[in-house]
Amino acid sequence: MPRQHPSISHFTEEHRRRGGTGRIVVLPDSVHSAALAAAALECEVGAIANSLLFDADGSPVLLLTSGAHRVDTAAVAGRIGLTGLRRATPEFVRHHTGQVIGGVSPIGHPSELPTYVDPWLADHPVVWAAAGHPSAVFSTTHDELLALTGGTVVDMEAP
């Protein structure tokens, strides 16, 4: 059996430690977009939880949003009391998550991140999110995602 990538192993340990109940799936190809992940998993794009890390004046903010939505960064920043959210550089993402863009999981980072979860994910009985690597995902629910991350529900769309 091939050896598992270290970032997937780290995610698996953290998922277990936090009481995650979903299954971890390693797909044959990278699923770095919601559309690719949904096609590979044969689910709706809206059931994919995109893990998007933003830079808030040097501090990381993690948004877990439905793959069917685009984040309105100005609206989200206002809702969570920040002056703004900027797209994070690949170096910023790796520094704060230990993972690469396209494989950022909701958990397993070097330190806890302020995390906000899209309420639209609750419309799906099963939600899929990255498991620390661009080809790995795990199944969960909206409620479990909140419990695993300590996240707060925040609308991600424009008012």
| pLDDT tens for each residue of 70-104 | 999 999 999 999 999 999 999 999 999 999 998 99
pLDDT reading at 1 higher than 70? no
pTM comes to 0.93
Phi, psi of 130 (to 5 degrees): -65, 145
Report residue 111 as tokens. 């330190």
Under 8 Å CB-to-CB from 20, ≥6 apart: which residues? 107, 138, 140, 144, 148
Q: What is the pLDDT of residue 3?
A: 65
Under 8 Å CB-to-CB from 156, ≥6 apart: which residues? 63, 65, 66, 69, 71, 72, 75, 76, 116, 118, 120
Q: How many CA atoms lie within 13 A of 101 on its CB side?
A: 10
pLDDT reading at 131 higher than 60? yes
Question: What pLDDT digit, counting tens, does each position of 2-50 carry?
Answer: 568 899 999 999 999 999 999 999 987 766 678 888 888 899 999 999 9
The one-character DSSP state at 45 is G
Report residue 117 as tokens. 């979860």
Domains of the chain: residue spans and CATH:
6-153 (3.90.960.10)
Q: Cα-Cα-Cα-Cα dihedral of 98, 101, 107, 110, to 10°?
A: 20
Give the mean pLDDT of the chain.
93
Q: What is the pLDDT of residue 62?
A: 98
Average pLDDT over residues 91-118: 96
- Tell how strand 86-87 and strand 48-56 pair up: antiparallel
